[in-house]
Chains A and B, each alone.
Chain A
Amino acid sequence: MADPAHVHDLASELDDDNLQRSISGWLLFFYVLGDVLGSGIYVLIGAVAAAVGGAFWLAFLAGVTVATLTGLAYAELVTKHPQAAGAALYVSKAFRRPFLTFIITICMLSATFAAAGSLATGFSSYFAQVWELPPPLLIAVIFVASLAVVNFIGITESVVANMVMTFVEVAGLAVVVLIGVVYVSRGEADFSVLVQFDTDGSPVFAVVAGAALAFFAMTGFENAANVAEETVDPSRNFPRALIGGMVGAGIIYVIVAMTAALTVPIDTLAESDAALLEVIKADIIPVPVGVMTTIFAIVAMVAITNTTLVALVTQSRILYGMAREDVVPGVFAKVHAARRSPWVALVFSALVVTTLLAVGHTLDAAGIGGSSGVVERLATVTVVFTLVIYALVIVAAFVLRRDERPADTFRAPTALLGIGIVGNAGLLVYVVVDDPTSLLWCAGLLALGLLLYVVERFFGRRGETRPPPGTARTTSTSTTSTGEEHR
């Protein structure tokens, strides 16, 4: 080595391998697929079937299409701004209105709260298929609490673990499809079911109603922005993996929905808490039903767990980010010394989700909650928030086209984005008109966000978590270390 003293002034450059990133295109594809697949089909298929009738696969097709069009806007924006902040960042860049950015961030946060609540309830329904004894609310709460603990300890960064989760999810749905294939090949299928509408009103409204619920099944894809920064060659890989994952999930959904419609009477699907299990229970393939039911319930729980984990990660990230910007109390930016996890944000998120579950179950038990159960109610709330976010993100994509475009960014087809806005807005209007009580829940969650903001405005400043550079606090902390004792 040359005289080190002369070399060291070159040291300000990062090494050329600093571009090393760990998320490849394939890994991102499986991340999207796993995240999307877990969220809806296991939990909501019965509700969608009830809303539409035998033709409910159309509702999934419509929901998937609108979501995928929105995905195009995300793909375009992520290639321009590959940071983890997602929708809030795009809205902030496009409109430069702090208040709007704040609202959209609260919407994102609320959407993940409601989604986690819905998923946790879905988890408890499948759990009851394996072990009926514990009360569902207790299981849902334990589920949320243990995922918070997992996030605190730190989820594995292992590429393999994520792939395995996704493969398990796909395998579960493949079993359903296999049952459909066997059934059809025996010539027992009555295909007229697939064009049957069980509603009194117009079939169009039935599909829109189903699509609004099916839409929940696609939410979660936007969490791919979490790993955008660590994606290899994002401008090439991100659009491919995101749209590929969504289309893949969409195809699986439509086929699974058709299979369920063909093999199980629609009434049975509509009444079941764990509707996909009814397909297994139809006893079409020569495997003991009891064994299959247990295995499938476990697969469903894995799928739901995978998606809920990502939702909880997103929540604590959003809270952490807002705390760093002094929008909510700084305590949410507190990171555990050894674990490097935002533990206050994790605990708070778990508490909010638990409260949602408790309120939902109480209303349900008292018969005030309306006809729909906790799963659907919270799913609807999620859908309201996400539709608002998605519509705004597409608008932001248009607005940000005014900026000069870096050389190799993905550009979504303009016409498709236009259809996407119309689709999102249309679904939003329908959901709100159809189920105005969901607005009360939305208002409750928004109020919580505003409350945090108010607390920070009035009591903030004192509790700054980050001292300015070079203050006494920084130095005094480091002098307490063993490193200094030897001096």
Chain B
Amino acid sequence: MSMHVVVATDGSKQSLAAARHLRALAAPEALSAVTVLAVVRPLAAVSFVDELSGTGREDAASSVASFRDAAKASIDVIAAVFDGWGPKVHRKVRSGSPANEIIKVAEQVDAGLVVVASGGRGLSDRVLLGSTAQRVQQYAPCPVLVVRPAPKRRRA
């Protein structure tokens, strides 16, 4: 019995940490495939922020804001985490509401696990509820691994 894992990225470093976490704890033989998913939000102030890849500098001259390219660049960085690990890696860009799209993809590929990062640390995470990770863990058709940032120092 093997399982398909969906790893979601919002372009944040925390999502890279989540991907590494999966690789650290799962046995590759148990997985049939990994789908790395990025969701572009067309109506948001900034549709996708890629903080993972170092590219983008070179096309600076051309004032091109291709959010889709930013999403693909982030996916490439995340997918590289699973290089040579075993399971086949799929890449997907979707657009819309991140939580909805993550859940839809999880249903489509009949996922056995969804991995998401929860970027919030501190006040905003506590005051402004309703983040993507929260909605995914509420409505996903399978178990969800939410990788949160380490607490600052004290408890580590």
Contacts and interface: CB of A to CB of B under 8 A. Distances in A.
Interface in A330-349: 335-342, 345-346
10 contacts: A11-B88, A13-B91, A14-B92, A14-B93, A88-B63, A98-B61, A154-B41, A316-B46, A324-B65, A338-B131
Interface string A18-30: 1011110000000
Contact of A483 (B10, B11, B24, B96): B24
**Most chain-A Cβ atoms within 10 A of its Cβ — which of B24, B25, B40, B95?**
B95
B91 A84 contact: no
B49 to A, nearest CB: 5
Nearest to A105: B63
Given A83-B65, A338-B119, A483-B147, A229 B44 contact: no
A414 to B, nearest CB: 27
Contact of A5 (B86, B124, B147): B86
Contact of B44 (A22, A89, A157): A157
**Most chain-A Cβ atoms within 10 A of its Cβ — which of B28, B79, B150?**
B150
**Ranked 6 nearest A-B pairs via Cβ:** A469-B54, A483-B21, A338-B120, A481-B17, A230-B42, A483-B17
Given A83-B65, A227-B43, A230-B95, 16 more contacts: A1-B2, A4-B86, A7-B88, A8-B83, A14-B72, A85-B64, A151-B44, A152-B45, A230-B68, A320-B65, A324-B56, A339-B128, A481-B149, A481-B150, A482-B21, A484-B17
A204 to B, nearest CB: 39
Nearest to A469: B54
A125 interface: no
Nearest to B91: A14
Nearest to A14: B91
B65 A338 contact: no
B47 A11 contact: no
Interface stretch (A210-218, A433-441, A448-456, A470-478): A470-478
B95 A4 contact: no
Interface string A47-90: 00000000000000000000000000000000000011100110
Given A21-B95, A313-B44, A468 B54 contact: yes
A92 to B, nearest CB: 5
Contacts, number: 216
Nearest to A149: B128
Contacts of B41: 154, 157, 340
Nearest to A229: B68
Nearest to A158: B97
Contacts of B12: 337, 340
Contacts of A486: 21, 24-25
A157 B89 contact: no
**Most chain-B Cβ atoms within 10 A of its Cβ — which of A89, A326, A483?**
A483
Contacts of A321: 63, 65
B63 A20 contact: no
Interface string B60-101: 111111111000100100010011111111111111110010
Interface residues of B, number: 75
Interface of A: 1, 4-5, 7-8, 10-11, 13-15, 17-18, 20-23, 83-85, 88-89, 92-93, 98, 101, 105, 151-158, 162, 226-227, 229-230, 312-313, 316-317, 320-321, 324-326, 335-342, 345-346, 466-471, 474, 477-478, 480-487
Interface in B125-156: 125, 128, 131, 147-150, 156
A335 B147 contact: no
A428 to B, nearest CB: 24
A22 B54 contact: no
**Most chain-A Cβ atoms within 10 A of its Cβ — which of B53, B64, B124, B149?**
B64
Interface in B102-128: 118-121, 124-125, 128
B44 A340 contact: yes
Contacts of B72: 14
A316 B45 CA distance: 6
Contacts of B57: 466, 468
Contacts of B49: 335, 340
